[in-house]
Amino acid sequence: MGIVAGLDSAPDFTRIVVCDTDTGSVLKQGYAPHPVQGTDGGGRPSDVDPQAWLLSLGEAAGGGLLEGVQAIGVSAQANALVPLDAQGNTVRPAMTGGDKRAQVAAADLIDAFGGREAWARAVGCVPGAAQPVTKLRWMARSEPENAARTAVLLQAHDWLVWQLLGRPVRRTTDRGGASGTGYWAAATGGYRPDLVELALGHQAMLPEVIGPAEAAGTTPEGLLISAGTGETMAAAFGLGIGLGDAVVSLGASGSVMAVHPEALVDQHGMITSLADATGMHLPVVTTLNAVRALRGTAELLGLPDLESLSDLAMKSTPGSHGLVLLPYLEGERTPNLPHTAGTLSGLRRESMKPEHLARAAFEGMLCGLADALDVLRGRGVEVRRVFLLGPAAELPAVQSAAPALFGAQVVVPQPADYAAIGAARQAAWALGASQGTLDPRTPPVWQGPVAQVLDPGEDLAVGQAVRQQYVAVREQTHPGAFRA
């Protein structure tokens, strides 16, 4: 019996959970927002002083929260680049999020290395504005003095682990975090220093990638710190997903990821090949339009919220009386149609009712995500269960349609701090492995999340007919969008 802690440093807050090492039961938790920082003049994501993460960590851990804890795992926001000089000081504030400043740099990098396919083959992903490799290119072009001073490259969880350990000479990361940088290849498990040099203009020191159950080190007080990982990988680990499981996240945009035993190379760049926190792989496919399509429809219909849109949609029937919405309101990434717009098809006198448009919005969003699932299935990824995340997952219109449209059992976990729980589970694994009580190849078995389980049942055939209706409209409007 023992207790471990998981720390999740999200973009806006720090959450800490203290868990029982054997069951994963959450015993205590703490929370603190990050200190407020300004935005730049263009309303773009602000640069962040990493010290803000330490301040909120200290606040969240107040009141003796970590008393008796034997090990800590760290999860942190993805894509936050922390450039350090040779003395370990930050060269500039951390660049976080999908930084729009770097969009031109992304296109520049893609061309400089020979195109999307070359990048996909090299590191399993095509550079986007969010990735650290792209931010390096932006810094080299826009802040050459800072680029020249940059000697060490860390991400948010790497930096936090390093700080907790007292800033040792050795700096570490994990496969999950490294796989999102754009200069580490999930397929080979190695860095591509040539891509760092291409982006930054010179080489830089990169953190050592340690195994899932390895410890990054021990604090002077004897507290074990595990490898840490990115938020996406920590949340997957906290949910306990494994082979046959996929996770569909319903944000303004959508994402689909699944556990797979090998890295997938996708020459079209639709699949981002990430590594997970267990030694497996997490291929991810994203859509640009998920809940934003629902919000747009609610506004069009004069409805105050998504709950009202869901209630209205439930008055319609599967297939929305022939209405089909291709929800490509911001262009789309899956399929790759960056300059297109949404399409509403099937307008007839009998279908021109608010409830049918409301249902078409839900079906369009879910069919778009089913397209993303099919990209993974088409590459041999098995999907038996789909974990549905995000507040919109609780809506009746989503829950009634998703199992049949996805063609799989749908699991809707109760809201919880899964990234922090995943970080705690990693800490328990590293602790057990260091003590010889756990196999370093097999993570601790913790109780699964409390969840609703929804089966397609007799609705499967109806759902597949709705999918076919959607696919027919998509193919007619954008022929060959999913073909080479």
- What pLDDT, in 10s, does the model give residues 421-437? 999 999 999 999 999 99
CA 374 to chain centre: 19
Burial of 167 (0-12, 13-18, 19+ CB in 10 A): exposed
d(CA 127, CA 138): 12
Q: pLDDT value at position 37?
A: 67
Run of H or E including 33? strand 26-33
The structure's pTM equals 0.93
Task: Say yes or no to pLDDT of 207 above 80.
Answer: yes
**Average pLDDT of 338-359?**
96
Strand pairing report for 409-413 and 254-258: unpaired
Q: What is the pLDDT of residue 483?
A: 75
Phi and psi angles of residue 254, each rounded to the nearest 5 degrees, phi first: -125, 155
Contact 356, 459 (CB under 8 A): no
Q: Counting beta carbons within 10 angstroms of the beta carbon of residue 32, is it exposed (0 to 12), middle (13 to 18) or buried (19 or more)?
A: middle
Instruction: Give the residue-averaged pLDDT of 54-83.
Output: 96
CB 152 within 8 A of CB 120: no
Number of C-beta neighbours around residue 80 at 10 A: 26
- Give the pLDDT band (50/70/90) at residue 101: confident
Q: Which residue has the higher pLDDT, 113 or 42?
A: 113
* Pair 252, 292: CB distance under 8 Å: yes
Q: 394 or 128: whose pLDDT is higher?
A: 394
Rounded mean pLDDT of 63-84? 96
- What is the DSSP code string of 171-205? -EEEHHHHTTSSSEETTTTEE-HHHHHHHHSS--B
pLDDT at position 295, please? Answer: 98
What pLDDT does 98 receive? 75
**Whole-number pLDDT of residue 42:** 47
Furthest C-alpha separation in the chain: 74
313, 359 Cβ separation under 8 angstroms: yes
Listed in order, strand segments (DSSP E) in 93-243 are 152-155, 172-174, 184-185, 190-191, 208-210, 215-218, 224-226, 229-230
Q: What is the pLDDT, as a whole number, of residue 440?
A: 96
Residues 85-111 have a mean pLDDT of 92
pLDDT for residue 217:
98
| Cα gap 229→156, rounded to integer Å | 9
Which residue reads 């000697």 in tokens?
A: 151
Task: Indicate the pLDDT class of residue 99, thresholds 50, 70 and 90.
Answer: confident
Q: For residue 245, report the phi and psi dihedrals to the nearest 5 degrees.
A: -105, 145
CA atoms within 13 A on the CB side of 461: 1
Identity of the residue numbered 436: G
Tokens matching residue 307: 């709950």
Q: What is the pLDDT of residue 44?
A: 47
Give the model's confidence band at 40: pLDDT under 50 very low, under 70 low, under 90 confident, else very high.
Answer: very low
User: What are the pLDDT digits (tens) for 389-409?
Assistant: 999 999 999 999 999 999 999
**Which residue did the predictor score with more confidence, 375 or 266?**
375
Q: Which residues contact 199 (CB under 8 A, 6 or more apart)?
A: 109, 133, 134, 136, 137, 140, 182, 183
The pLDDT tens digits for 246-258 are: 999 999 999 999 9
Q: Which of 243, 295, 234, 165 is nearest to 427 (CA)?
A: 234
| Predicted confidence (pLDDT) at residue 266 exceeds the cutoff of 90 | no
